[in-house]
Amino acid sequence: MPLCNCSLCGNVYQKVYSDICHPCSKQNDAILCKIIEYVSTSEKENFLLESISAELNIDINIVKYLNKKGDLIQIKNKLLFTCRKCNEEFQPTCHKLEFCPNCQQNTYNSVYKEKESLNKSNLLSQLENSIKSKAAAKKRKDSDHDYGFKNSNS
Ligand SMILES: [Zn+2]
Ligand SMILES: [Zn+2]
């Protein structure tokens, strides 16, 4: 079994299934229960991960870790994420989302555009290359003539 550093507390542990050590994962189970109970019984409609961390006095890294693992999925409807790009708060449709719908759309568009212009420049350079190689072939042919290789056979 490989030795690893726990991604939460940094302690060395023997990696079996999880990327965190046993004490951390045990602690996390308790924390997860606390979060879910707190959020689902609260009258507040939405919670930022940061506010869960502050209100329950839980390390934000643990809250984020649990969220990343998908453990907060059952309180998903009450969660608010902060967009990594514009800092706008948004309701996530999936726990892996990092950008608000707007930024997601924009990122998608710019990636698409980049791809498109890349394709275009690829096409152009392909065209250029084929013209060049045709010209080179023609040159070779011409020089064949110059040396009379073609004529000697005819
Ligand atoms: Zn740990
Ligand atoms: Zn955004």
pLDDT of residue 111: 79
* C-alpha 21 to ligand 1 mean position (Å): 4
pTM of the entire predicted model:
0.67
- Ligand index nearest the alpha carbon of residue 83: 2
In angstroms, rounded to a whole number, what is the distance separating the alpha carbons of residues 26 and 30? 7
pLDDT band at 22 (very low <50, low <70, confident <90, very high): very high
* C-alpha 31 to ligand 1 mean position (Å): 14
Measure Cα distances from 28 to 9, 67, 104, 110 in Å: 12, 11, 31, 39
pLDDT of residue 36: 96
Flag whether pLDDT at 152 surpasses 60: no
Is residue 17 classed exposed, middle or buried when 0-12, 13-18 and 19+ CB atoms within 10 A define those classes? exposed
Domain definitions of the chain by residue range: 3-99, 104-153
pLDDT of residue 138: 78
SS (H, E, C) 30-89: HHHHHHHHHHHHCCCCCEEHHHHHHHHCCCHHHHHHHHHHCCCHHHHHHEEEECCCCCCE
pLDDT of residue 122: 85
